[in-house]
Amino acid sequence: MQYSLFGSILTIGAMIGAIISGRIADYAGRRTAMGFSEVFCILGWLAIAFAKVGWWLYVGRLFVGCGMGLLSYVVPIYIAEITPKNLRGGFTTVHQLMICCGVSLTYLVGAFLNWRILALLGIIPCIVQLLGLFFIPESPRWLAKFGHWERSESVLQRLRGKNADVSQEATEIRDFTEALQRETESIIGLFQLQYLKSLTVGVGLMILQQFGGVNGIAFYASSIFISAGFSGSIGMIAMVAVQIPMTALGVLLMDKSGRRPLLLISASGTCLGCFLAALSFTLQDLHKWKEGSPILALAGVLVYTGSFSLGMGGIPWVIMSEIFPINVKGSAGSLVTLVSWLCSWIVSYAFNFLMSWSSAGTFFIFSSICGFTILFVAKLVPETKGRTLEEVQASLNPYSTKT
């Protein structure tokens, strides 16, 4: 029970961070929100590193979770608001690539170091980002929202380069922001008909991302590798060897092929990966093809990991950062991030119970959800490649910009 609590309390902290993320980012600014998150993370790592009793570890994990919840919302939003439309998708996905590299590095270092030293090492990137915040500008769209037009244009010029003509982009931001000034900013105002499609796409993608089995594959990967005759550590290295190049490929293709094609390919691959894992468990239950079924499971895990890394891992966060107008971005972003972490906790908590019920059945359920994701993307998710944030938001929320 203590082990489960220690594991799940991080996700609970992330849900708390998600709830407050929109408000902090909206009223104090994107940079300040990132600063808050780093302070939470530093306090959390210190509590874990110097823990004398068990509850210090819980408090530490809770604080780190709060920081993660804040960061998972504000970083994609900030990146989307400062980058030009032709590079926005790639830049936002680099965030996921860096997370991927960071997690992989931590697994590697953690294999050789004491956990207290590992917790202290966790403070280093937090301090680097905290100091780095003094050298980056505030989001021009956030400045425009609060009427700082000159500063907004000045920041935009700094971001695009001295010789770039930013007048058209600055005018578009100003016109769109002014049109939204009369709209409500409350969480209740978010549930209006005009925001229905944006909300459906944002929340739907997060639910399908988490319920598609990513946590199940991650938790069970080591056991699957061992059952396939490989050591758990070799299996994890194989996952990283697939994960990082596929995430990098997603970054390169994001602004060339677009979000929708990558999502469709990614969802199809995760569907196939879960199906192969389910088939392997079915064969094991029936005591058929004993030599081949572990290899089938291994193939399923690697196909799933590669496919998820290509699109479903990062693109829902890219789209979340693009589809909500500035007047509801805080409330909407908080809600979408909260849903993501809540679904992550549900799957993490329920996974062991599902596996004890039926391993094959669990992965057939995941495969079915991934199959539904293909339909969801094909019918509802818009293509946002090569369009400004204002163009994307106006097309999804046609009534919000009418005077």
List, for residues 172-187, the tens digit of each pLDDT value.
Answer: 888 887 776 655 555 5
CA pair distance 56, 45, nearest whole angstrom:
10
Give me the domains of the chain, ranges plus CATH numbers: 1-136 (1.20.1250.20), 191-398 (1.20.1250.20)
pLDDT at 25 over 60: yes
List, for residues 43-100, the tens digit of each pLDDT value.
Answer: 999 999 999 988 899 999 999 999 999 999 999 899 989 998 888 888 888 888 888 8
**Residue 187, C-beta contacts closer than 8 angstroms, at least 6 positions apart:** 331, 334, 335
CA pair distance 232, 230, nearest whole angstrom:
6
DSSP 402: -
Residue among 216, 171, 253, 255 at smallest CA distance from 361: 216
pLDDT at 403 over 50: no
pLDDT at 16 over 70: yes
- Output the CA torsion sign for 9, 23, 398, 151: negative
DSSP string covering 57-108, please? HHHHHHHHHHHHHHHHHHHHHHHHHHS-TTTHHHHHHHHHHHHHHHHHHHHH
DSSP string covering 225-287, please? HHHTTS-HHHHHHHHHHHHHHHHHHHHHHHHHH-HHHHHHHHHHHHHHHHHHHHHHHHHHHTT
pLDDT at 377 over 90: yes
Q: CA distances (Å), 109 to each of 65, 88, 225, 237, 260, in order?
A: 21, 32, 21, 13, 36
CB 303 within 8 A of CB 224: no
Place of tokens 């995430």: 247
Residue among 78, 122, 80, 129 at smallest CA distance from 102: 122
List, for residues 289-348, the tens digit of each pLDDT value.
Answer: 777 777 888 888 899 999 999 989 889 988 988 888 877 888 888 899 899 989 988 887
CA pair distance 264, 245, nearest whole angstrom:
19
CA pair distance 172, 229, nearest whole angstrom:
59
Q: Give the type of residue at 305.
A: T
